[in-house]
Structures are given as structure tokens and as C-alpha cells.
Structure 1
Amino acid sequence: MKSYTEIHKIKIFMYVQAVVGYQLFFGSIMTLFYLKYSKVSFSEYLTIESILAVSIALFEIPSGWIADRFGRKNMFLLAIVGGIICNTILIYQSSYIVLIINNIILGFFTAMSSGTDESLYYDYFSLKNQIKEFKQTYSKTQSISFIATMIATFSIGFLFDYSMISPLIIDNAIMFSMLLMGLFALPNERCISNLKTNINSKLKELCSFSLIKNAMPFFIITALIFSSLRTAYSLYQPIILDIGIDLKYIGIVLAVFNIISSVVSYLAPSIFKNLKNEKIILFLFVFSIGVGFIGVGIFQNYLVLIFLVVQQMVRGLLPLLAMKRNYYIPSNCENRTTMLSIGNLLNTLSIAIMLFLQSICIRYLAAFNTMEVTGILTVILMLIAILYFIVKKDKGDIICYQED
């Protein structure tokens, strides 16, 4: 009965976390906040954001190691406290230097939370032989998260118009509530550790080259998908405006995109189950990204909305694919967070590289064609990574520790 109660509490926390998200309201108007409230120039804002990305990348691996050593629950809750502090600093300080320092600190706390919660959830469900339940719950939380983002997108304009700091205040209140709930809902590390029996000594060599090599190809594949979608999103606004949609309707268009992503995310377990073959799933991602990105560059009119919808469908499927990263990490792994941090580091580095390449393309090409180039590059790199992954897995050089 205790086992069910613990899992039930974790599931409730996962659902609540999906509803409130991280920077649910502030994330939608971050650029406007820095430009209008903090009064930095656009170039200064881009510098601040690039520093944040570099900070996250630098702290990604050490934060995972710290979480594995001092407790994932403790570090996850500490990251929430850090987020509240950094948000509060934004309200009271607008000095450019302070904002840079604040984002360096925020990068540490963001890295601290990266993968920590997923690792904690996965291990507990795995030790209770409830991986199927975890996959279903995880997929539902992604759908809920998309819906919550959609609702926030609709309301953020009114909130920001009422008070520019109101999104930060609301997010702080939400994070404080999550902090209190997490103290009671999340299992203690020793609760998980006590359940581990007969751990093979090889698991203690998790960070050895061979085990990192085992997970790295799949990590690279998911990083390429994630970075392409993340950087493409920065081109959505100019593209939507260029096809003639009025600025005031952009929020509605983005909200519709979130609805589509949420529906696909909810259906993702069934889609993956019907496709069954992992190779088919991976090549489906390649095909969808190729169509979704290259189509935008070809048509450059209202039809591009169809191809942006394809991208959002990929976005809806990605979380479940990314969750499968855990399959290539040994079961009952004591350093799972560190390994996932390596995957998240690849995500961050891929985004940084992709943004740099886009910044060059946008000087010579329209936003449509910049997205097209992004898609072509992503498809080429994905094909190379997937073919390498398939060959190595078929030869037995890559081990999958968990099957669907």
C-alpha cells in the first residue's frame, strides 16, 4: 500500500508541475520585460541570453554530479529556491552588470534542475516495476504542459499591460507552492536507495567511457531534434508577420500550435506503440523535420502554417522520444542524473551552434530560407547519427536496457 501511495504522490506532483511549469508566464514576455522594464538594448538582451546559455552548458555536468551525490530531491528543490531569488533580483535590479551576473547564477540553478526531476521519477517508477505507468503519466504531463502554455499565451498580454512585473510575481508564487509541495510529495533519496538490491558492481562505473559511449548516439539524435525545434521557434514571429498575419493575432496562432502539440503528445504512446519499430520512429522524425522545415522555404505564403503545424507535431512527439534516453542507461543507475545532464549539455551546445549559424544565414537570407537551411542541415546530421546508431546497435555495440 505504501508503494502505491508514494507513486500516487509523485504522479500528482508531476501533473501539478506540468500545469504550472517553469517561468510559465514570464517566459512568454521575457524579451519585452528586458527591453521595457530593465531598459537594456536588444543587443544587450541577446548578450544576456547567450551568457545564460553558456552558463547552463558549463554547469550542466557538474550539477548532475552534485545532484547524484547530494540527492536529486534536495537539488531540485534548491533549484526552485534559486529560481525565486533570480526572479526577485530582476524585479529590483536593472543594472546591466547585475543582470549578467544574475543570469550566470540562473544558469547554475537551471542546470541543477535539468534532468533531476526526470531521473528521480524514472528511477522510482522503475524500481516499482511501473515503467509503463511512468511513460503514460509522462506523456500526459507533456500534453498538460502544452495546454497550460497555451492558456498563459492568451493571458500574458493582459497581465503585462496591467503590470510589467506581474508575470514574475505570479511565477514566484507558483514556484513557492511547488517548493512546499515537493518537500512532501517527492521521495527521499534513501527511500529509493533502500529499494535497490543486488546492484551489479559495473553500475558504479557509469561514467566510464564505455557507458557514456553507449548512450551518446541516442543523446545526439534527440539533441539535434530539440535544437532544430528550439531555434526554429525564434523565426516564427517574423515568418508569421511576413505572410500577412496581423501582430495582434500572433498569440492566437501560437496558442493553436500549442493545442496541436498537446494533442499529439497525448497520443504519442499510442503512436509509438503502433509503429513499434524504433528505426521507423527515428526515420519518421527525419521525414517530418525535412517536410516541416523545407516546406516553409519553398512556399513562403499562408501554406507555411501547414508546415509549422508539422513542426509542432514533431514537438509533441519529442518528449516521449527524449524519455527513451533512459533506456540506454543501466537500470537502477546511481548516477542517472549525471548521464542525463550529458544529454542536456548536448541540447544546449546544439542550440548555441544552431543559433550562431542562423545568425549568419539571416544576414543574407529571409527567415523562410533560414528555416529551410536549418531543416536541411538537421536532416543531414540526423541521417548520419541515426545510421551510425542503427549499425552499432545491430552489431551489439549499443545496449538498450529497457524495451517497450
Structure 2
Amino acid sequence: MLKRNITIAYILAFSKNTWFWLGIWIFYYLRFTDYAGIGIIETILILTMTLAEIPTGAIADLFGKKKTLIIAFTLETVGAFIMATAPNFQMLALSVFVMCVGGAFYSGTIDALIFDTLKESGEEGTYDRKISNTNTLSLIAPAICSILGGFMYKINPTLPFYGNAFGYMIGLIASFFLIEPHIDSIKFSFRNFVSQTGQGLKELFKNLDIKKQTILLLSIGFFVVIASEMLDSFLGFEFGFSAEQLGILWSAVFIISALASQLTPFINRLFKGNLSIIFIGILIVITFLFSPWMGLIMGGLSLVFRSSLEAISGNLASIAINQNTDSKFRATTISTFNMIKNIPYVLSAYFIGSLSDKISAKTTAMYLGILLLGFILAQLIFSRKTLRDRQYKAT
């Protein structure tokens, strides 16, 4: 019976990403505001997601993953309906806030649910394959829905958002059929909530090896968030894609990234430990470094390649954190990691946008690649020094 959680998790992953609005959202937003107003909404989005990550993760560990996912999809459904029926800018902003809180409840909880389900069934060794399948579905969903959303928008501008609300509603119904894993459960209290929230941070840095791994994952994660949330869109424009071509490109990006996600188990076994993370990080660096010299074709391929690497990177981060974290702190720890990973984007979004205006997004991408390479090399040097010190002490 418990194994049905995995099937339901696949349904939830698809439902969560039924973004029919993906290709047309900016046109819908411009019905209510201008670009400055959209900037305000994007700030609300990223701040809400970042600030809500840790407390919602703690709630998932204390209240249970099933209840938390029900809350998540309830908020997502309500928020999507508010957006579809929004009469003004204020209601549009409210809908974004509600959906972001729902997204924060979902983030980390779904990964923890899958891992706990497999652990209770004695199958945690298959987690890398299961999380790859989950992320593949979460990428296929927007690839399909974004194409349909364009036609829906022509019929009625609100239809893509009603479609999104319907997708969330399916996820809400499916959530009620989950079975709560009974691993390391803790009774909820305010004291436990406060303690749980702090424990998520401790789990990420509880010993030297895990601390090094966390810093490596965060170093790459910082740049992945900046690229996926903003820079890649700038680059698509600078590489010379038209609006129609960009719609096709992003659909292709999601489909190919979904397929690439399936390579995670292979890469995780081919390169043991942190080597798989470093390998993906170096490849991401390469896609950044050569941006200034790329045109339409090579630029488009670089965006597809980097997005595929980002999908694998996210899978590897989930595997590493789940394997090193106690079940009772798992959702909290994943949410803490996601929150920390988003902070540089919150702080640097305006700066990167301004820098892209002044020196171009292509050159900005090159500088980000140099910076990421520096982070990775510094950690490799530190790891080798630590290893030599340990060998010296052992002798």
C-alpha cells in the first residue's frame, strides 16, 4: 500500500507544473501593469518563496508530509483561481503570494515523502531513479502545457490560468490518497517547531565532509538559480531568437531537460561522492564562459545543454541531502537548503539586470562562469589540503 505514494508523487509532480501560462504570462500581466509592476510581482514571488522555505519544511516534518502537500495544493488551487479572475493589479499580486506560499509547502516535502516511503519499504537505494522520474515529469508538464497555453490564450486570456488551477486541483485530490510514512515522527508543539527550524541548518553543516558538500552544492545552486530565473531569458533575446522562436526553444528545453534528468543515476554511479557534483559544475561553467562568442544556433544549444545540467544538478543535490539527513529533519533540511540557495538571487537580481544592460547578458554570463569556476577550484584545493592533513595525522 505504501508504494502507491510513488505513483501519486509522479501525479503531483506533473500537476504542480501544469503551467499553461508559461509562454504568455507576461502578456497577461501587462493587462494590469507595466514592466515596473511586473518587477514588483517578481520581487514578491522570490521573497515569499525564500522566506517561507524553512518554516514550511519544519511543518512538513512535524505535521506530516501528506497534510503539508494537501495544504500546498489547496493554496496553489486557490491562488490560481484568484489569478484567473483577478480584476486588478492588487488581486494579481495576491494570487502570486498565495501560490508562492503553496509552492514553499510543496518544495522539499515531495522529495522527503519519496525518500521516507522508500526507506520504510527498504528500497532507499532506488531513490536516485525515483527522483529522476519525478523531475522528468515536472519538466515534461510545462513543455506540453506551454504549447497548449498559447492556443488557449488566443481563445480567452484567462483560460491558461484556469487550466493551471484545474491541474492543481487534480494534485489536491491525489494528495488525499497518500499514506503517511511512519519514520521518526515528532509530535507538533511550538517548541518543537522552533527547534526543528534550527535543526535544518545544523543538518547541512553537521560535520566537515557534509559541510564541504553543502558549500559545493550551494555554490553551483546560486548560479543555477540566477541563470534559470533571469539570465537565460536575457541570453535567448541576445542570441537573436524571436518571440515565436523562444516559445519553441523553451518547450524544447523542458523536453530535453526531462530526458537528461534520467541520466542522474548513471552519473551518480559513474562519479562517486562529490565528483559527480563537480563534473556537472564544470560543464555549467563551460556553458557560461563561451556565451559572448555564441550566435543563434550555438547559443540555443548552450541554453538547452545548461538547462539539462541544471536538472541533473538538482537531482544530485536532492540525493546528497536525503542520504545525509535524518528522516525527522529531512523536509526542513531540504527547505533550508532551497532558501539559502535563493538568497543570492534576491540580493543580486537588480545588479545582474543592470550589469546586463551595461555590458550585455552574454558578457555577464562569462563573468558568472569565471566566478563559479573560482568557487569550484577553491573548494577542490581546500578538499585536497584537508585530505593531506588527515593522512598526515593518521601517520
* Class of the TM-score when normalised by the shorter of the 2 chains: 0.7 to 0.9
Matched AA of 2:39:
L
- C-alpha distance in 2 between matches for 1:12 and 1:91: 29
C-alpha distance after superposition, 1:265-313 (max 9, x if no partner): 11221122223x2243232123211110111123345322332233123
- Counterpart mapping for 1:41-120 below 5 A: 41-120=34-113
- C-alpha distance in 2 between matches for 1:388 and 1:328: 23
| Cα drift, residue 264 of structure 1 | 1.5
1:381 alignment partner, one of 362, 375, 383: 375
Structure 2 residue aligned with 1:341: 335
Structure 1 alignment gaps of length 5 or more: 195-203, 397-404
Q: Structure 1 residues 240, 101: closer, same or farther in 2, change over 3 A?
A: closer
1:298 alignment partner, one of 293, 300, 319: 293
- C-alpha distance in 1 between matches for 2:161 and 2:114: 28
C-alpha distance after superposition, 1:48-68 (max 9, x if no partner): 111221122222212222222
Q: Greater CA deviation, 375-384 or 160-169?
A: 375-384
Structure 2 residue aligned with 1:313: 308
C-alpha distance after superposition, 1:311-330 (max 9, x if no partner): 12312312321212334634
- C-alpha distance in 2 between matches for 1:84 and 1:41: 26
Report if the CA contact (8 A) 1:61-1:341 is conserved: yes
C-alpha distance after superposition, 1:209-232 (max 9, x if no partner): 754423554344333333423332
- Counterpart mapping for 1:61-210 below 5 A: 61-184=54-177, 186-188=178-180, 191-192=182-183, 207=199
User: Which secondary structure does the structure 2 equivalent of 1:335 belong to?
Assistant: helix
- Counterpart mapping for 1:342-361 below 5 A: 342-361=336-355
User: Which secondary structure does the structure 1 equivalent of 2:17 belong to?
Assistant: coil
| Cα drift, residue 256 of structure 1 | 2.3
- C-alpha distance in 1 between matches for 2:96 and 2:64: 24
Q: Structure 1 residues 384, 95: closer, same or farther in 2, change over 3 A?
A: farther
Please tell me whether residue 235 in structure 1 is matched to residue 231 in structure 2.
yes
Q: Give the alignment's TM-score, normalised by structure 2.
A: 0.85
| Cα drift, residue 18 of structure 1 | 3.1
Structure 1 residue aligned with 2:255: 259
- C-alpha distance in 1 between matches for 2:201 and 2:5: 33
- C-alpha distance in 2 between matches for 1:128 and 1:33: 46
Structure 2 alignment gaps of length 5 or more: 186-194, 391-395
Report if the CA contact (8 A) 1:216-1:343 is conserved: no
| Cα drift, residue 171 of structure 1 | 1.6
Matched AA of 2:282:
F
Structure 2 residue aligned with 1:367: 361
Matched AA of 2:10:
Y
Q: Greater CA deviation, 215-224 or 58-67?
A: 215-224
Please tell me whether residue 218 in structure 1 is matched to residue 213 in structure 2.
yes
| Cα drift, residue 192 of structure 1 | 4.1
Identity of aligned residues (%): 19
- C-alpha distance in 2 between matches for 1:87 and 1:31: 16
Q: Structure 1 residues 242, 278: closer, same or farther in 2, change over 3 A?
A: same
- C-alpha distance in 2 between matches for 1:213 and 1:281: 20
Q: CA RMSD in A?
A: 2.8
Structure 1 residue aligned with 2:190: none
| Cα drift, residue 385 of structure 1 | 4.6
Q: Structure 1 residues 91, 246: closer, same or farther in 2, change over 3 A?
A: closer
Please tell me whether residue 273 in structure 1 is matched to residue 269 in structure 2.
yes
Matched AA of 1:361:
L
Matched AA of 1:294:
L
Q: Give the alignment's TM-score, normalised by structure 1.
A: 0.83
- C-alpha distance in 1 between matches for 2:251 and 2:204: 38
2:12 alignment partner, one of 17, 39, 49: 17
- C-alpha distance in 1 between matches for 2:109 and 2:257: 24
Q: Greater CA deviation, 56-65 or 78-87?
A: 56-65
